[in-house]
Each structure stands twice: as structure tokens, then as C-alpha cells.
Amino acid sequence: MTAPVIAVDGPAAAGKGTLARRLAAELGLPYLDTGLLYRATGRRVLDAAGDPRDPATAAAAARSLSPADLQRSDLRGPEADRAASAVAAIPEVRAALLDWQRAFGRTHGAVLDGRDIGTVVFPEAPVKLFVTASTEARAARRWRELLGRGVAAELATVATEMAARDAQDSARAVAPLRPAEDAVVLDTTELDAEAAFAAALALVRERL
């Protein structure tokens, strides 16, 4: 059997990153947080005082990403969230990042989390999870995460900005956020990280 690819997609703060990282560790597979590619692209555009909505600027930033860009400490937070979602709506940016993501998973298998892994990047993946949760639960999680990192934030503002980003990610013409037809939807509203992991692992074992 060729090395498996496991696709973990879903909206912001649904718990997909934690879940994907744990699955990768459990299965001995490499892990890629594909959101970092869009975040780093957005950050490079902001550094150059450019507009993240401008296709030429954003595509140039995506093409010149280096591994060091993915290690930056300023890829999270409201400004980085907005810039990532803006560059992610640009087809040239997505095209520039596609081969890179495919190459990452193709040889040794991988767990990738993002928005379009099961629909576009690896439509043939044998396991596809779509991890979601209610908007309230996701906003509360993101808010607690920000407070935990010492970032002052209002819950209502976090909720509004998250809803706007999800709306933009879902409405864009290219690779919109949606479950693949053969994805299993995992709703983590009532599940803690442990229970979500157990459910996901059971599914993976069934499919591989």
C-alpha cells in the first residue's frame, strides 16, 4: 500500500489542528498545517505594506515563501487571520501552494489540515475528516486560546471576526470551505480533544 494521506478540513477553531497533529503522531506520519502557508503569505504581503487582496502581490509572496517564513512567531492574531483569508481567495496564490502541499504528502503519506485538502489537494485521500463545531463553541475556544497566550480580546469581537473569516472562506469561488462528498463530519461541539481523537482514530483504523 502506498503511504496514506489523511485529510482534515474544517472551519476556524474547530479543533482540527490538535486532532491532525495527534493523528500524525499516533500513525507515525508527517504533519502539515496548511493554514500556515496562507498565513505566511499574508504576512509577507503585510511586511511589504502591500494589499493582501492584490493578486499579483500575493501570488509573488506565495511563490517566494521559504521554510523560515513558516516558523515566524507573528502568524496568529486578528491581522494575520484576515490577511491569510484574503490571500487564500486568490486563485494564483492557491495554485502556487498546491504543488508544494502535494509533494509534501505524496511520498511518505501525511496528515494535512486545512480547508480544501479533501476536495482539491488530495481528492483521492482514503480518509477525509471534516471537523466542525457550533460557532459559539469555536469562538469560545479561540478566545480562551488568545487569553492563554496573553492576548487581550473580547469574546464578541473574536466571534464576529471568526464568522466573517468563515463566510469569506466558504463563499470564495476557488476551493471554498466545504466537506468533500466522501468526508466524515465530526462535530466537536460536545466533544473534548480526547473524545474527538478517539472518534477520529476509530475512523482511520476502519478506513486504512
| Residues engaged in binding ligand C5P (CB under 6 A) | 12, 34-35, 38-39, 84-85, 88, 114-117, 165, 169
CB of 166 to ligand C5P, least distance (A): 8
Query: Sign of dihedral through CA atoms 91, 9, 21, 102?
Result: negative
Enclosing H/E stretch for 45: helix 35-47
Q: Is 10 annotated as a binding residue?
A: yes
Q: Is 14 annotated as a binding residue?
A: yes
Q: Is 15 annotated as a binding residue?
A: yes
CB of 93 to ligand C5P, least distance (A): 9
Q: Is 13 annotated as a binding residue?
A: yes
Classify residue 133 as exposed, middle or buried by CB count within 10 Å of its CB (0-12, 13-18, 19+).
buried
CB of 1 to ligand C5P, least distance (A): 25
For ligand C5P, which is the closer residue by CB, 60 or 88? 88
Classify residue 125 as exposed, middle or buried by CB count within 10 Å of its CB (0-12, 13-18, 19+).
buried
CB of 26 to ligand C5P, least distance (A): 21
Q: Is 11 annotated as a binding residue?
A: yes
For ligand C5P, which is the closer residue by CB, 57 or 85? 85
For ligand C5P, which is the closer residue by CB, 167 or 198? 167
| Cα gap 97→183, rounded to integer Å | 23
Length of the chain: 208
C-alpha cell at 58: 500575493
Binding-site entries for ATP: 10-18
